[in-house]
Amino acid sequence: MTLQGSLPHEEYCAQLLAETDAFRAIVRTADLSATVPTCPDWTLADLARHVGGAHRWAGALVATRATESVDLADVPEGAGPGGGKPGGEDAAALDAWLAAGAERTVAALREAGPDAEVWSWTTARNSGFWARRMTHETVVHRADAALTAGVPFEVPAPVAADCLEEWLQIGELPMVVARFAERGTSLLGPGRTIHVHATDAPPGVDAEWLLDLTGEAPTHRRTHEKAAVALRGPLTDVLQVLYRRLPADSDRVEVLGERALLDQWLEWASFG
């Protein structure tokens, strides 16, 4: 299984900046002490520091062409001056810290191009992986921030579809399948298939998938195909359901067929 994105490297770079800007807009105006419903151990400020730290960490990996993982504590400004809270305590300081980190990371990604060899925790060992991963990391955590602040959340269709495709690709990686297997293998078996269908995808955006759980490990393909259970709805909402940012029983999506199978998959494959 390869981690192949559908967008050009420069578009990931541009989208990473755009997603960070949208995330920052929430941080600037929302209550930083509010609990994030989808990450209940964090406040919104904690979420922002997580996102900014991830940006800086990935940027350091790419900038140094790292051959192994790097401790976040060793990343400049990753843990704040003197090991304190990055970005300071107020919204303006946190906003500036987020902006600077994203810009630094995108500069490293653009300088490296998509094919520079860089360590990652997956089978994709290149800078292009990090451009894509950090874009989608920011998309999903912007959903967390939007939910916390009670503001709308929308994602450009090509980015949302690629984010969902990456989620399914990661779910097929051997190291992820092995981790899932620790939760039990009863999910896999004959006739166990899930159809994911974004009903509002514009022309040119392929947004239907068949998740096949009938073999020894999950596989998926882009297709319109009957399955044991189908999840249908707007692309952004379907994305949020699969990342467990929106409940599958939301009236914004429709579930047809064996609902228990979808629920079991969402519980089994929660990693993002």
Q: Do residues 210 and 225 lie in contact, with contact meaning Cβ atoms separated by under 8 Å?
A: yes
Please provide the average confidence, as pLDDT, over all residues in the chain: 91
1 pLDDT higher than 80: no
Task: Give the C-alpha distances (Å, rounded to integers) separating 251 from 70, 120, 229.
Answer: 43, 38, 17
Q: Do residues 66 and 118 lie in contact, with contact meaning Cβ atoms separated by under 8 Å?
A: yes
Kindly state the tokens that stand for 178. Answer: 């092995």
pLDDT, tens only, 42-58: 999 999 999 999 999 99
13 pLDDT higher than 70: yes
pLDDT, tens only, 93-109: 999 999 999 999 999 99
* Mean pLDDT value of segment 169-196: 83
Q: Are strands 193-198 and 229-233 parallel, antiparallel or unpaired?
A: parallel
Amino acid at 118: V
178 pLDDT higher than 90: no
193 pLDDT higher than 90: yes
* Mean pLDDT value of segment 17-41: 96
pLDDT on residue 83: 42
Share of the chain above pLDDT 90, in %: 79
Task: Give the C-alpha distances (Å, rounded to integers) separating 49 from 13, 67, 88, 224, 259.
Answer: 20, 25, 10, 40, 36
pLDDT band for 171, please (50, 70, 90 cuts). Answer: confident
The fold adopted by the segment(s) 9-153 is Four Helix Bundle (Hemerythrin (Met), subunit A) (1.20.120)
pLDDT band for 79, please (50, 70, 90 cuts). Answer: low
pLDDT, tens only, 126-165: 999 999 999 999 999 999 999 999 999 999 999 999 999 9
Identify which has the larger pLDDT, 221 or 77: 221
82 pLDDT higher than 50: no
- Report how far residue 189's alpha carbon sits from residue 224's, in angstroms, rounded to the nearest whole number: 21
Tell me how far apart the terminal alpha carbons of the chain are, to the nearest angstrom.
Answer: 19
Identify which has the larger pLDDT, 272 or 36: 36
Where do the domains of the chain lie?
9-153, 159-268
Beta bridge pairs of residue 254: 232
Kindly state the tokens that stand for 43. Answer: 């406040």
* Alpha carbon of residue 157 to chain centroid: 15
* Mean pLDDT value of segment 10-27: 98
Task: Give the C-alpha distances (Å, rounded to integers) separating 120 from 27, 79, 105, 112.
Answer: 29, 21, 15, 15
Quote the CATH superfamily of domain 159-268: SCP2 sterol-binding domain (3.30.1050.10)
* Mean pLDDT value of segment 176-205: 86
Residue with tokens 């921030």: 145
27 pLDDT higher than 50: yes
117-126 in b/e form (b: 16+ CB < 10 A) is: ebbbebebeb
Amino acid at 86: P
Q: Do residues 86 and 76 lie in contact, with contact meaning Cβ atoms separated by under 8 Å?
A: no
Overall residue count recorded for the chain in this entry: 272
